Amino acid sequence: MVVAAVIGLGLLALGITLYLQQPKFGVLPEGARLDRIKQSPHYVDGQFQNIVPTPNFSEGNSVASVWWSFLVTKKEQRLIPVDSIPVIKTDLMALNKDKDVIIWLGHSSYFMQLGGKRLLIDPVFSSYAAPLSFLNKAFKGTTSQYTAEDMPDIDYLLISHDHWDHLDYPTITALKPKIKHVICGLGVGSYFEQWGFETKLIQEADWFTVIKLEDNFDIHVLPARHFSGRMLSKNKTLWAGFAFVTPERRIFFSGDGGYGPHFKQIGEMLQGFDLAIMENGQYDQRWPYIHMMPEEVVQAVEELKAKALLPGHAGKFAIANHPWDEPFKRITNASQDKNYELLTPMIGESVELDNHQQSFSRWWERLE
């Protein structure tokens, strides 16, 4: 029996090892890429560090306690909607490329036309955002309308960090023929090289780096308060937010992360924004430092000096134990009487950046 148990454990360990070799897990930075990472002031003691101390969990919580709670605690009854999420199918191929628009594709995925360029941010078109297909399934209706085939050629693909709900292997490989350039934080390029992208197409950058494109278009790689890692290794690649600056407008994308002093710093550095695209969802009092509460999103938007807010990170996946529609309700309530405009488009609905008369419904109120 002892021999059988040892053999069984050995086979299990071998199976896990082989499973983790699948391309979707990626490879960690090494060689010249790792040497460059070590030069970053944000890389200390073998890991990237946030600007301010950022524990993953609040006091009294741990990975073990959170997993135990996840497995045995009663979940919110409305964690997942009963109804299908409404989606508008916009023909992205037919859009006038000179027209500045943003289209939310669910969760933290966005298609953007800005300054004559087509950009795609954190695309996840799969029916789940996890290592295993039965984990973290997408809400009904959110994956049937937009696929890689619906995307036009993408001038710049931007990836905020390497978590499964932001960097999706099947989506990226399906998009590969359409992607002209990739912009990401330090180390994230190792995934793209493993997945067959040419090195010359990948641009990795540290926080507070300005990537100057042609036609007076700048992309700022900016700090977020979060973490990285797709499985066992933590914080070996950099997480980030972005700012897109053209002569006509300034757009901020937060990426994932908790509230911190970086928002005020960014707002002052770039002198405000026309629009802030912000994480708003998958929050929990047990991890208050790595995801913002909706009320903190409002504070961050005010410190960014943004004229409008487009919230995301909700409406597609249930990663935290809150009602699926709560982020929309709380951000709507918290945005009352503020000095910015709240934009709440449905998935696929065009936000026309030159159309200041455009309005959006509270679509979540019609669903169970």
For the residues 196-216, what does the mean pLDDT come to?
95
For the residues 97-107, what does the mean pLDDT come to?
97
What tokens does 125 get?
Answer: 């078109």
Judge contact between 341 and 309, C-beta under 8 A.
yes
Write down the pLDDT at residue 22: 83
Write down the pLDDT at residue 7: 60
For the residues 333-349, what does the mean pLDDT come to?
97
* 3-class DSSP state of 330: helix
- Report the chain's mean pLDDT, rounded to a whole number: 92
For the residues 138-147, what does the mean pLDDT come to?
94
Q: In this predicted model, what pLDDT tens digit does every residue of 246-284 receive, in sequence order? A: 999 999 999 999 999 999 999 999 999 999 999 999 999
Q: Which of 2-16, 249-263, 292-306 has the lowest mean pLDDT?
A: 2-16
Helix (H) or strand (E) holding 246: none
Q: Per-residue pLDDT for 352 more than 90? A: yes
Q: Per-residue pLDDT for 174 more than 50? A: yes
Q: Per-residue pLDDT for 131 more than 50? A: yes
pTM comes to 0.94
Write down the pLDDT at residue 312: 98
Write down the pLDDT at residue 134: 82
For the residues 93-116, what does the mean pLDDT come to?
97
In 122-281 the beta strands, taken as DSSP E runs, fall at 156-159, 182-185, 202-205, 209-213, 217-222, 241-245, 250-253, 275-279
Write down the pLDDT at residue 75: 64
Place of tokens 């004229």: 307
Place of tokens 């977020």: 224
Q: Per-residue pLDDT for 10 more than 70? A: no
Residue 12 banded pLDDT, cuts 50, 70, 90: very low
Cα separation, 153 vs 175, whole angstroms: 9
In this structure, the strands spanning 156-159 and 117-121 are parallel
Write down the pLDDT at residue 59: 73
Q: Per-residue pLDDT for 16 more than 70? A: no
Cα separation, 314 vs 79, whole angstroms: 11
What tokens does 306 get?
Answer: 């943004």
Percent of the chain with pLDDT over 70: 90
In the chain, the domains with their CATH numbers are 27-353 (3.60.15.10)
What tokens does 246 get?
Answer: 């053209």
Write down the pLDDT at residue 230: 93
The DSSP string of 287-309 is STTTS--HHHHHHHHHHHTBSEE
| Most distant CA atoms of the chain, gap in Å | 74
Place of tokens 């292997």: 169
Write down the pLDDT at residue 67: 57
Write down the pLDDT at residue 215: 79
Residue 241 banded pLDDT, cuts 50, 70, 90: very high
* 3-class DSSP state of 50: coil
For the residues 190-219, what does the mean pLDDT come to?
96
CA-closest candidate to residue 125, choices 317, 364, 258, 332: 317
Write down the pLDDT at residue 249: 96
For the residues 276-294, what does the mean pLDDT come to?
97
Percent of the chain with pLDDT over 90: 83
For the residues 196-206, what does the mean pLDDT come to?
98
Bigger pLDDT: 9 vs 146: 146
Q: Which of 53-57, 93-97, 285-289 has the lowest mean pLDDT?
A: 53-57
